[in-house]
Amino acid sequence: MAPRKLAAGNWKMNGTLASLAEVEALAEAHPAPSCDVLICPPATLIHALASRIAGRGIKVGGQDCHASHSGAHTGDLAASQLADVGASHVILGHSERRADHGETSGAIAAKARAAHEAGLVAIICLGETEAERDAGQTLDVIAGQLAASLPEGATAANTVIAYEPVWAIGTGRTPSSEQIAEVHALLRADLSKTLADGADISLLYGGSVKPSNAAGIFAIPHVNGALVGGASLKAADFGPIVAALSAA
């Protein structure tokens, strides 16, 4: 088994029911891509999106889940609830969650375990800050986050790793090919040592991915796809990224 190619769109806190027309347009323009395509809209849109694109080759995911299966957690969602309304994946540990909500790698590992138990694929996000990059700490930070965020029972079938340098998210700045390659090589080496099928886990790059730089990013060793933010909101932007990954 080789790592699966995945183009994942993270809509963050954007989109309404009217926005789902963009996903339908994406499905029409790219009816049979040679990669997996995933859209992670706000939780309010998961069921509607899953219903509208059923059987059209696009998967639907959530942007977070709670580590518990149920309980007194106002405003939170269980992984099983995401699966119940049509999600197949869930993004966990995004830097915005780590920063805005104080999520630790240990908490993310607990959420990933819950996701696995619910039958969801956990997309675990890792990334260094600009200060950590400037201090030469990138590889130590990423290795530490990976070790602490990866739950027992992780496999290539239920886990995806996304490297998103915090300083590149939504800024228009992108690391050099050498910087991306260095981190992805570390991830592949550590996963291969830790897990029996670590060589087959999909590794995504995220952070200001757009049509103009996608092909170059996908040519980097051990980059199996992308976690895309703003450019995933419109079919005209996300479609060329999907096409570039299909051709990679």
For the stretch 144-202, pLDDT in tens is 999 999 999 999 999 999 999 999 888 888 899 999 999 999 999 999 999 999 999 99
1, pLDDT greater than 80: no
CB 52, CB 23: distance < 8 Å: yes
Residues 141, 129: Cα–Cα separation, whole Å:
9
Structure-token pair, residue 121: 């694929």
Which pLDDT tens digit goes with each residue over 107-143? Answer: 999 999 999 999 999 999 999 999 999 999 999 999 9
Q: Which phi and psi angles does 92 have, rounded to 5°?
A: -135, 140
Catalytic residues: 94, 164
Map out the domains of the chain as residue ranges. 6-12+22-70+79-247
Give SS3 for 193: helix
What is the per-residue burial (b if ≥16 Cβ within 10 Å, else e) of 49-70? bbebbeeeebbbbbbbbbbeee
Instruction: Enter the pTM of the model.
Output: 0.97
177 Cβ contact list (under 8 Å, min separation 6): 216, 217, 219, 220
Which pLDDT tens digit goes with each residue over 8-21? Answer: 999 999 999 999 99
> Which residues face 123 on adjacent strands?
91, 160
Structure-token pair, residue 182: 């260095």
Q: How many CB atoms lie within 10 A of CB 88?
A: 16
Give the mean pLDDT of 56-65: 97
CATH of domain 6-12+22-70+79-247: 3.20.20.70
Give the mean pLDDT of 229-235: 97
Using alpha carbons only, how large is the chain's radius of gyration in Å?
17
Q: Which of 67, 46, 44 is nearest to 58 (CA)?
A: 46
